[in-house]
Amino acid sequence: MPSAFALALLQLLVLAAPAPQDPQAVAPRAYRREFENERVRVTRVHYEPREKVPTHDHPNNATVYVYLRDSGPVRFVHTGHEEFTLTRPAVRAGGFRLSRGADERHSVESLTDQPTDFLRIELKGFTDAERRTFRGRYPPEPRAARRGAQSVRFENAHVRVARVTCPARGRCDGLGAPGSASLLVALSEAHLKSAGGATEVTMSLGQTMWAEAGARPSFTNAAGRPAEFLRIDLKTAARP
């Protein structure tokens, strides 16, 4: 049995541990929750040029970072279980990065004269083993390479990430995946119409649309230019 001294010491350590700091509470201008259900959490992130964001926490979830504009480097100073500093390099609009995720406590400093805008999309409920292969950086594709309606950029046993292009005033194939719940992210402005025109959906840059497994939205691109999307498919069922 542990001694009374050991129990008291453990209690002191627990009490001394800093409480998690919600990014939205610490920096509501920089972090705005846009969508959340039992499978995903979508946060829109905005840093002003040269802005410094106070220390805050992020949970241990696999995460997709979707970059909404060209921007310069950003420094992250981690002060949690391990203390280290990382500088995210410059990014281009339409690119994305996959991260296995970790319990993060860090402050942020923008190192650029450009604003920074991206989505932080957390995928909930995956184990450490399931998240092991979920990583990589994916720059935007050249427009000349976007010939097909969709192209899979990443896939493992649990997640598929695909780019989807809807031709101008043409049918939008690939907005949902058969048998998978999906999150659709607009990489451009989009004006969609359902068959017969009964339903119209306008999506701004970075706006998301959720579809449950088995629901495949059927739309036509009503605009005179192509509409670009990133589709994130959750191939495994939600855990209770």
What total of structural domains would you count in the chain? 2
Distance CA 123, CA 103 (A): 14
pLDDT value of position 31: 97
* Host domain of residue 191: 141-234
| Mean pLDDT per 10-residue interval, the chain, length 240 residues | 53 52 92 96 98 95 97 94 92 97 93 98 94 94 66 94 93 88 96 86 96 86 94 88
| Of 166, 138, 164, 147, residue with least CA distance to 233 | 164
Verify that 113 and 151 share a domain, yes or no: no
Distance CA 145, CA 122 (A): 28
pLDDT value of position 15: 45
Verify that 167 and 227 share a domain, yes or no: yes
From 98, 131, 164, the end of a domain falls on 131
Q: Give pTM, 2 decimals.
A: 0.89
Verify that 172 and 93 share a domain, yes or no: no
pLDDT value of position 177: 84
Residue 68 sits in a domain whose CATH number is: 2.60.120.10
Verify that 218 and 120 share a domain, yes or no: no
Does a structural domain hold residue 70?
yes
pLDDT value of position 16: 45
Verify that 120 and 146 share a domain, yes or no: no
Does a structural domain hold residue 9?
no
Per the structure block, which two tokens stand in for 155? 């896939």
Identify residue 108 by its one-letter amino acid code.
V
Does a structural domain hold residue 3?
no
E strand or H helix that includes residue 16: helix 4-16
pLDDT value of position 4: 62
pLDDT value of position 10: 45
From 92, 107, 131, the end of a domain falls on 131
